[in-house]
Amino acid sequence: MRRLLARRMKFHLFGAFFVSVGCAALYKFGVADPRKRAYAEFYKNYDPMKDFEAMRAAGVFESAPPK
């Protein structure tokens, strides 16, 4: 039973490191990159003036009444 804690600690530290790196990689490739691509695709064709005019016509703004 000598150095039992040291051996198990080494095993658990390496395990925790690899699990955390795996979770970070899964998040990056599963969530962050698709989100970046979706935002890039949305803003590629986004026209803010057209959106503003649509909201203005709907009466969303108090300071810019509909025409």
CATH of the domain at 38: 4.10.93.10
Q: What is the pLDDT of residues 18-57, one digit of tens each?
A: 999 999 999 999 999 999 999 999 999 999 999 999 999 9
**Residue 18 belongs to a domain:** no
pTM above 0.85, yes or no: no
Higher-confidence residue of 2 and 47: namely 47
**Residue 39 belongs to a domain:** yes
**Residue 25 belongs to a domain:** no
Q: Total domain count for the chain?
A: 1
What per-residue string of b and e applies to 26-57 under the rule 16 or more CB within 10 Å gives b? Answer: eeeeeeeeeeeeeeeeeeeeeeeeeeeeeeee
